[in-house]
Structure formats: C-alpha cells, structure tokens
Amino acid sequence: MMALTLAQLAAAVDGALIAPDDAALADPTHTVDGPVETDSRLVVPGALFFAMRGENTNGGLFAEAAVANGAVLVFTEERLALPVPQIVVADTLYALAALARAVVAEVRAAGTLRVVGITGSNGKTTTKNMLRAILSAQGPTVAPQGSYNNQVGAPYTMLRIDEKTRFLVVEMGASGIGDIARLIGIVVPDISVVLKVGLAHAGEFGGIEATQRAKSEIVTQLPADAVAVLNRDDERVAAMAVLTAARPVWFGLDPEADLSADDLRATSAGTSFTLLVDGLRLPVNLRILGEHHVMNALAALAVARELGVDITEAISALEGVERAERWRMEILTRADGVTVINDAYNASPDSMAAALKTLAQIIEPGQRSVAILGEMNNLGDYADDEHDRIGRLAVRLNVQQLIVVGHRARHIHNAAGLEGSWDGESVLVETADEAYDLVNSRLRAGDVVLVKSSNAAGLRFLGDRLGEVQA
C-alpha cells in the first residue's frame, strides 16, 4: 500500500485512532506502508490488519495473532488490548472500502494510474490473468490473485497499489443487484469490460434479467471519457451500450466488432485463432485450452489496445500465458498416457457446455473421451432443467464415458440415459472417492478426462488425484 500516516488512515475511514503506551507508536504522523490483510495467517511484519466481523466469527479474536505475526496497525469495531495502534470504526467492511477509495484517489492524483474493471457471468478470472500478463510487460500492474472480486476481495486488491502502479485490474463480481454499484462507488474504472450475461448464480439474482441489470452497473456510472468494452455477440451485453455515456468498444466473433476472430481451432496443445483488428489479420496461438477463451482473449486485447499497448506485444504476452488459472482448464498429463483436464473450480451452464465441447473437439482418432461431472450451484429454479440439458449435450457430443457425482447432479445422468440408448456409458456415484475408483479402473492410455463442477462439489481435488503420475 502507499505510505500514509496514522492520522491520514484514521481520517480516511472516519475512525478513532487509539494509541498504545509506547510514545513512538502513538505519534499520529507515524507512517505505515505495509500490505493490508484480513486474514491473520497472512500477516507479515509491517502489515495492517482488518479485524473483519463475519457472519460466524469476530475478526477481533484474531487480532493478537495478527500482531504476533507482525501487524503494526489494527482496524477494529471495538477497542482491544493491543501493543500497537488501532483505529476503531463503526463497520470494518465500510472502512475497508473507504480506505481503498482514498488510496486509489491519492494514487490517481499523484501519477498515471489507469483502472480496468471486469465483470461477466463467466471468464472474469481468465481475462484478468490475460490482462495482467499483457500489462505487466508495460509497467507496474496490480491484479487480484484467484477470484478476489467481492466486497472484501476487490478493495483488498485495490489496496495493493502504490505511487508506482501504472495499471490496476479489478474483478467485479456480484451475487445480487447493487453489489457492483458498491464497488463502482469505490473506484470508477477508466475502462469497464462486460464479458457475458449467463445463468451463473441466476438463483441468487432471481433470473437472467436481474443478472443483466446487476452486470450493467459496471458501465452505467462511467463518464464520457471512459470506455465500455462490450461483447457484441451477447445481446444482453450489447444492450448495455445505451446505458452508458462511455464510448463502446466491441469484441466478438461478429465481423462488425472492433476486434473479432475467425479460423478458431482447439487442440490439446491450446487454442488458435486469427485476430481481425484495424484492418489487420494476426495469428494468435494461446496455450490455454478451449475455444471459449478466445472471447476472453479478445476482451483483453481490446483493453490493451485502448491503453495504447502495441497489438503485437499484447499478442506475444497472451501467448505466454500457460493456463487460465489453477483448476480452470488445467491440463495434467500422466506418465501412462492419460490426459486430465481439471476444470472444477467453478461451473455454470455456459462454462459446463463449453468444457464439454472442448473435450469433444480435442479428441484424436483412437482416443476416448471421459467426463466426470458434478453439480452446478446457485441455479435456483433453473437447476433441474440446466443439469438435464448438460446430460443431453454430453450424449450429443459423443462423450464415451460419463460419470456423474452426487445426488444433486443426478439430472445429468438421468437425461443422458433418456437421450440415447446407452449401456453403462453413464454412471451415477455418490462420492468423489467412488468416482476415482471407478474411472481409474476403466482408464487406458490415450484417454482424455474432463473433471468439471462447481467449487462446492470439491471435484477439483478429484482432478488433482486423477492427474497424479501413474506408474
């Protein structure tokens, strides 16, 4: 974080500075610049600790551990007996956002910081990682680790910047209307990206129309000198162009988009396409698996273009990205010739369908396709129909062995049985351990195995087990 005095920090969060007995530490002009942490286990010497109050715990219980690990300042909702300064606030979540707002404003005023916000039902983390690779080659860049995109994770990322930071990339996720608006209240991006409006978390939002309204919050407050990077192929995203004063920049497979792609090809080695931009046709060879990542690459390249990055340099950086993210289309090659695609960090109807299509596309003659699928969470009233659709899709794509894990995913198995005259090609098991034993007993050299589910189903660990080197 950029250096601020204790007095500045207290003012930024509208808190009361409580000094310890040590006179040196009591000086309100004392400056701190360590990282902000909300988990005491991640605290390092010099860190600032937010004792966040959660639904089931009180972060104040971990303040002593944070100090023991080196925290030099604690933000808390109640005064604690600590040997370091503390700032007492009414609400630590509000204070975290307020501090992020103040820090971003200070850095923006002091330098050349550009802020990119990304949202979408799918692809946020992959696009963020692509942008980090491109922009890091241009200057100091801060982007979230993992999927830090909520009311804690987004400001946590913002607080990683300092006066030298040139680019800040922020994922903006939402579980309901108003969530992204609150993040926009912390920082209004110079460039906002909307990737897709799909059924991910539709149960939480209350339907896809509500999802569209929630995602549109990332562009509605943009000023006229900002840019809205929008997916021309998604009609719900395209409709957002009339909701913003910002200049729209279009990406998609539609040839009328500002950046478009053709000649798409997916293999087990990655994904290739031809980029069409500014009258040029440029080859792009991604190491990331799956044609659906072409849209993420187009969005990242559109942002880079708006930030003045040479397009050939941006492509070169993209081609160096080895994987989308841990447990996202992660390829694990075993010594016995079996390939495992571990894509079980998250799942929605769109991403599940895309993963199955990728599996079908990359199978070579003589290879067998195996899909181990678990539940897609947070679909509400859509759940049964969407799991049913995935089961039928697996049959239509000629997936040769389907293993469905867990009672809540049973409609995948049931629909697969109804779709075709299968005889054991689809099996329903209750646990990941059962799936592991079953699939290992049937695998042979050359098989390609997709493991896909929502995070809560835990199949990402099954994917890791299956991907381990087999003697």
pTM of the model: 0.88
Binding-site residues sit at: 120-126
* HSE-up (13 A, CA, CB side) for residue 64: 3
Helices (H) and strands (E) in the chain, counts: 16, 22
Nearest C-alpha neighbor of 268 from the set 237, 248, 289? 289
Binding-site residues for ATP sit at: 120-126
Q: What angle do CA 395, 400, 404 make, to 5 degrees?
A: 70
DSSP class per residue in 352-397: HHHHHHHHHHHPPTT--EEEEE-PPPS-GGGHHHHHHHHHHHHHHT
Distance CA 419, CA 15 (A): 62
Nearest C-alpha neighbor of 299 from the set 371, 355, 353, 231? 231
How many CB atoms lie under 10 A from the CB of residue 217? 22
Residue pLDDT tens, the chain, 471 long: 899 999 999 999 999 999 887 766 678 999 999 999 999 999 999 999 999 987 777 888 899 999 999 999 999 999 999 999 999 999 999 999 999 999 999 999 988 899 999 999 888 989 999 999 999 999 999 999 877 888 999 999 999 999 999 999 999 988 889 999 999 999 999 999 999 998 765 666 668 888 899 999 999 999 999 999 999 999 999 999 999 999 999 999 999 999 999 999 988 889 999 999 999 999 999 999 888 899 999 999 999 999 999 999 999 999 999 876 777 788 898 888 899 999 998 888 999 999 999 999 999 988 999 999 999 988 888 899 999 999 999 999 999 999 999 999 999 999 998 887 566 789 999 999 999 999 988 899 999 999 999 988 889 999 999 988 443
- Domains in the chain, please, with CATH? 4-92 (3.40.1390.10), 111-319 (3.40.1190.10), 330-467 (3.90.190.20)
- Residue 434 identity (one-letter amino acid): E
How many CB atoms lie under 10 A from the CB of residue 211? 24
